[in-house]
Structure 1
Amino acid sequence: MSESDHPCLTCGACCHEYRVEFSVYELQSMGGCVPDALAHEVHGTRWRMDGTERHPVRCMALMGRCGKQSICGIYAQRPSACRAFEMGSERCHEARERHGLPPLELPWDDYPLAA
């Protein structure tokens, strides 16, 4: 399996389901890695990825269609909330199910990916 086949880089279901909030210190302008242009202030030091504040949710960093050739345009620069989202977790399976995608199958070792 190549890295381009990794479910987290081709699925996008979580990018269509969940609000993504993070600390202002994760923004590039504050020394972090998240591009400022893709986020907005929520309150004080809390920021949110654009597109995740409304319904239907669609993170502005997502490129392509959910489940079909979708990829996070800032995967290496994604906020901590996205980094902490666990592949194969109950929330992952719920998001995939809502978008007509099957649950991920074990073993997880078949899905190598650097954090």
Structure 2
Amino acid sequence: MTETIHPCLSCGACCQNYRVEFSIYELQSMGGSVPDALTHDVPGNGNRARMNGTERYPVRCAALRELPEVGEGCIGCGIYEQRSSPCRDFPFASYGCHDTRTKLNLPALAEQEVTPWLQAA
């Protein structure tokens, strides 16, 4: 595979479309990896946390940021290695990915953008 940047690093669409809710046991204060400061408790449910910015419309996860250390124009998760299970489980190039890109007026991913990354996984 050539040294190209993953399509997700020029997108951020999923971080601007979905409510990200997960068990409080994924929080750093509970032994997990997700920074508490980027989350809040889910009202009426003492065992769930939610990423800040995903509880309202328009959605924009608090962890989504520019990533100049990766490359010019790159955007993505500022806590990628610490992200929650819903983010870890969101499939690249899935129906949800393509549907979200459409909602945000982004072009569909072309097969040549997707195939090398799926083969490398």
User: Which TM bucket (shorter chain)?
Assistant: 0.7 to 0.9
Q: Which residue of 1 aligns with 2:84?
A: 79
Determine which of 27, 51, 54 is the counterpart of 2:53: 51
Q: Which runs of 5 or more structure 1 residues have no equivalent in the other structure? A: none
Identity %: 57
The number of residues matched between the two structures is 110
* TM-score for the superposition, normalised by structure 1: 0.85
How much is the aligned-residue C-alpha RMSD, in angstroms? 2.0
Q: How does 1:94-113 map to 2 (within 5 A)?
A: 94-106=99-111, 108-111=114-117
SS at match of 1:45: strand
* TM-score for the superposition, normalised by structure 2: 0.81
Does residue 88 in structure 1 map to residue 82 in structure 2?
no
Separation in structure 1 between the aligned mates of residue 108 and residue 85 of structure 2, nearest angstrom: 24
Higher relative contact order (CA 8 A, sep 6+): 1
Q: Which residue of 2 aligns with 1:32?
A: 32
